[in-house]
Amino acid sequence: MELTPYRIMWIFVLFDLPVLTKAQRKDYTTFRKSLEKLGFGMQQFSVYNCFCGSRERMEAQIQRIKNHLPPAGHVMIMHMTDRQYQDIVNFYCRSEAKLKEGPQQLELF
């Protein structure tokens, strides 16, 4: 199978979790740290993303995220191809900025 920007995937996890009580703050922290352990990086507050080499790896990552969902709040999981990711227009203080590039090599497990 040929690797192309149309087969390589990115996953985005967006979440809005309650943090009013000590238990809710703990759930928020536990979920955020579980995303980091799964290889996700923070794109913005409550928006994390992860590069995946294939659709199969993406589906496995989504299952892992489901296993770590907090008891309350809203979590949304989106995915896109590497080609779609390259088309994101990004701004910092009204200046257009390049997105960080994905890994230059495929991870093998």
pLDDT in tens, 51-100: 998 899 999 999 999 999 999 999 999 999 999 998 989 898 888 887 66
Q: Determine, yes or no, domain membership for 30.
A: yes
Q: Determine, yes or no, domain membership for 70.
A: yes
Q: Determine, yes or no, domain membership for 1.
A: no
36, two tokens: 């980091």
- Percent of the chain past pLDDT 90, that is, above it, reads 66
Q: How far apart are CA 30 and CA 47, in angstroms?
A: 15
By residue range, what is the domain housing residue 88? 9-97
Q: Determine, yes or no, domain membership for 103.
A: no
Q: Determine, yes or no, domain membership for 24.
A: yes
Q: What is the pLDDT of residue 80?
A: 95
Q: Determine, yes or no, domain membership for 3.
A: no
Rg over alpha carbons for the chain, rounded to the nearest Å, is 15
Q: What is the pLDDT of residue 90?
A: 87
Domain tally, the chain: 1
Quote helix, strand, coil % in the chain, to nearest 5: 30, 30, 40
- Residue 70's CATH number: 3.30.70.240
